[in-house]
């Protein structure tokens, strides 16, 4: 067995071992990426048990699909995407947790009827209306869980600029989503 007693595995060794359903490879992959995936899940729920459940469900998905990883991009990014899909499924199935999109930590509570008004597609459509850099910063920070320092390095901007783009994105999203939540007679001006 290739994994007995070994501490540092290459990504290729991890993927191939997991594809062969080798427990040591699965454990090594889990230990390598779980802390970061849990951190991402914690951004969307303050309940530790829920965050762990989502991350673990995401890893089940990873292990089921590991044979499809084609080494086109980073393994961490691929794992992150599968855990994110697991998180989206969880929140879709548990609509009462529509704190999925945190516009700002200081915002007022989302109205109870919010889950009846917005679907994931509505929110993603609103995100796509943002200016390109603000959209990218928002996606990296709010959806993928990167820090401002990581975003700044990735996009070759300062941390302050990253924070400004995030603030701008949150404000625009708040305006868009608030307008969509307005009663139908207030959404459109029907005067001719």
Contact indicator for 162, 98 with CB cutoff of 8 Å? no
Whether residues 121 and 83 share a domain: the answer is no
Which of 97, 130, 148 represents a domain boundary (last residue)?
A: 97
**Average pLDDT for 45-63:** 92
Whether residues 107 and 89 share a domain: the answer is no
Dist CA 179 CA 175 (whole Å):
6
Q: Which of 71, 192, 108, 146 is nearest to 99 (CA)?
A: 108
pLDDT score of 112: 42
Q: Does residue 64 register a pLDDT over 90? A: yes
SS3 call for 179: helix
Confidence of residue 115 (pLDDT cuts 50, 70, 90): very low
Which of 52, 78, 97 represents a domain boundary (last residue)?
A: 97
Domain count across the chain: 2
1 in any annotated domain = no
Domain that holds residue 132: 99-186
Residue 54 sits in a domain whose CATH number is: 1.10.1740.10
Whether residues 182 and 104 share a domain: the answer is yes
Q: Which of 79, 44, 74 is nearest to 64 (CA)?
A: 79
Confidence of residue 108 (pLDDT cuts 50, 70, 90): very low
């Amino acid at each position: 067995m290739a994994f007995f007693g070994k501490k540092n595995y290459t990504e290729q060794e991890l993927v191939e071992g997991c594809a062969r359903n080798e427990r040591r490879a699965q454990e090594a992959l889990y230990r390598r990426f779980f802390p970061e995936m849990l951190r991402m899940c914690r951004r969307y729920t303050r309940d530790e048990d829920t965050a762990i459940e989502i991350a673990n469900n995401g890893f089940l998905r990873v292990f089921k699909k590991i044979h499809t990883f084609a080494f086109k991009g980073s393994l961490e990014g691929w794992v992150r995407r599968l855990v994110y899909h697991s998180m989206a499924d969880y929140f879709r199935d548990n609509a009462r947790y529509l704190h999925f999109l945190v516009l700002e930590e200081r915002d007022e509570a989302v109205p109870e009827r919010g889950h009846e008004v917005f679907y994931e597609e509505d929110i993603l459509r609103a995100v796509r209306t943002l200016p390109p850099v603000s959209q990218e910063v928002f996606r990296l920070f709010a959806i993928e869980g990167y820090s401002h320092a990581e975003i700044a390095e990735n996009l070759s901007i300062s941390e302050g600029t990253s924070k400004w783009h995030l603030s701008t994105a949150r404000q625009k999203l708040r305006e868009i989503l608030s307008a969509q939540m307005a009663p139908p007679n207030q959404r459109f001006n029907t005067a001719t």
